[in-house]
Structure 1
Amino acid sequence: MTIDALFIVLTAAFLHALWNAVVKGAPDKAIVLGLISLGHAIPAMFVIPFTGLPVWAAFPFIVGSTLIHWGYYWFLNTAYKHGDLSVVYPISRGMTPVLVAVGAILFAGEVLPSVAWIGIICISLGIGCLSLAGLGRHTNWIAVAAAFGTGLMIASYSLVDGIGIRLSENTLGYIATLFVAEIFVAGFIFTTRWQRVVTLPRRYVWAGLAGGVISGVAYGLVLYAKTIAPLGVVSALRESSVIFASIIGVMWFGEGPKSNRLLAASIVAIGIVALAMAS
């Protein structure tokens, strides 16, 4: 992996943690998730005339990814309704690197060197430490179960989009088309919960739309990175966002306990270095 690709994915990781914090801090998480989908779709509508469409072979992957994202938003909404950011986020992201790396072997024919696997495992272990640090007697197990469901959805759409964008023959066109398709997610949420939409304070409306733009930039960067680096490596590096999310959870939302954060961050950092060395 080049330094440019490393920087792109780490930037996306920070942005991803930031928009999840926006969702966690919202009084109505379902509506804000709808606004985030809208924040993907509206800018993409203006961009797609300039990017054009991907080839038809990519469209089944766009449809599949859109459907998986519905499940992702449902699980994410449930998890954040019942659990802390610093617990839900590490669990949902921690299982993804290994699942994507294995899936890339099975479905994309990628074979990673041993050093890369060490990096992926270190990142997953570091994330696991963060997960354990947030669990305790008062843990809401509905949130934990929903976080695991979120992780499965993340791994699924990561693989689908990773393969789809490589077949698209138009990287920016694939990203723009994928984001335009999220208008269906926003439309479903708003039409079934319109009273909650109109009563949501305006500052959260703007925060949700801004979160959508941030989220779109983050995922667009990740999708681009998947065209120049192995899927498993990109996925693992992206999950360094759990460090940012845990810091935000502790500093912004006052979540605890704070123990083991430094250890977990160090393990994740070792994994990032190993992945960088692997290429």
Structure 2
Amino acid sequence: MSLLVAAAVLMAAVTHASWNALAHTIKDQLIAFTLIGGGAAVIGAVLACLTPLPHAAAWPYLVASALLHIGYQLLLMRSFTLGDFGQMYPIARGTAPLVVTVLAAVFVGETLGPWQLAGVAVASAGLVGVALWGFRGTDTRPHWPALLAALATGLSIAAYTVVDGVGVRASGTPLGYIAWLMILEGLLIPAYAWHRFRGSLLTRMRPYASRGLLGAVLSLAAYGLVLWAQTRAPLAPIAALRESSIIVGAAIGALFFKERFGAPRIAAAGLMVVGIGLMLRAG
């Protein structure tokens, strides 16, 4: 993995954490996802007019990825409903890189060297560890439905990561691929919100329109950078680097939401740095 690719993925992590933070400020998550998903679909439609159409071989992957992304969004909302954001999000994002490593080896034929494998494992351990640390020394016990929902979310992340890694390489146009992906995945939740709220949807969205549009731009940019990187490097290290968004999100929470960063998150950040170093050494 080159420094340029690593920098692009780390920038994607920052933008991903930023749009998640924006979504977190909107109390009604259905409205938040409607604005961000619908806004990304509109931007994708504009971008689709300016970029080449993806090659025919990429379309089955586009359709499969759109369905997986919708499932991911539903599972993520479910896990947030059942459990705490500070634990569900790291578990969901932290388990994905390890699963991507296995899926990429089985279905894509990507094998990693010992330094890359060590980097993925160390980074993932930091991300999952900070989520599970919250159960230590407290009366809190694991809420298994919430944990299962978070783990299922992680599996869906791993699945669409591998599908998109293959699809974007077959598309011939990363920009065209992300444009059509945003269109395909961004319409279902707004359609459901329109059915649920009917005439009051626009009124409900109006106070959050600017945040939703900014979140849509950041969301598209975040995944667009990841898709570009997937055409330049193996999937598993990219997945691990992308999930550094968890640490960025924790920092945003400490700075803007006055949430405690704490020693476990500092330790996780240190493990992430070690993991990144190991992955770059392989490049």
TM-score by shorter chain over 0.5: yes
1:182 matches 2:192: no
Other structure's SS at 2:187 match: helix
For 1:175 and 1:75, the matched residues in 2 are separated by 22
For 1:137 and 1:216, the matched residues in 2 are separated by 40
More displaced stretch, 214-223 vs 21-30: 21-30
Q: CA offset at residue 138 of structure 1?
A: 4.2
After superposition, the Cα gap between the structure-2 partners of 1:203 and 1:84, relative to the gap in structure 1 and judged at 3 Å, is farther
Q: CA offset at residue 191 of structure 1?
A: 2.5
1:37-186 paired onto structure 2 within 5 Å? 37-135=37-135, 136-138=138-140, 141=143, 142-186=145-189
For 1:255 and 1:81, the matched residues in 2 are separated by 19
For 2:79 and 2:191, the matched residues in 1 are separated by 20
Q: CA offset at residue 151 of structure 1?
A: 0.8
Q: CA offset at residue 241 of structure 1?
A: 1.0
For 1:132 and 1:87, the matched residues in 2 are separated by 7
After superposition, the Cα gap between the structure-2 partners of 1:257 and 1:8, relative to the gap in structure 1 and judged at 3 Å, is closer
1:191 matches 2:194: yes
Out of 250, 262, 271, which is 1:258 matched to?
262
Q: CA RMSD in A?
A: 1.9
Could you tell me whether the CA contact under 8 Å between 1:35 and 1:208 is conserved in 2? yes
For 1:217 and 1:241, the matched residues in 2 are separated by 14
After superposition, the Cα gap between the structure-2 partners of 1:204 and 1:79, relative to the gap in structure 1 and judged at 3 Å, is farther
Out of 213, 216, 226, which is 1:212 matched to?
216
Q: Give, as a single letter, the amino acid of the residue that structure 1 aligns with 2:177.
A: Y
Show structure 2 runs of 5+ residues with no match: none
Could you list the per-position Cα deviations for residues 187-210 of structure 1 after superposition, in whole angstroms to 9, with x for gaps in the alignment? 433222225634426332321222
Q: Give, as a single letter, the amino acid of the residue that structure 2 aligns with 1:172.
A: L
More displaced stretch, 150-159 vs 43-52: 43-52
Other structure's SS at 1:208 match: helix
1:217-228 paired onto structure 2 within 5 Å? 217-228=221-232
Q: CA offset at residue 133 of structure 1?
A: 2.8
More displaced stretch, 248-257 vs 124-133: 248-257
After superposition, the Cα gap between the structure-2 partners of 1:184 and 1:198, relative to the gap in structure 1 and judged at 3 Å, is closer
Other structure's SS at 2:222 match: helix
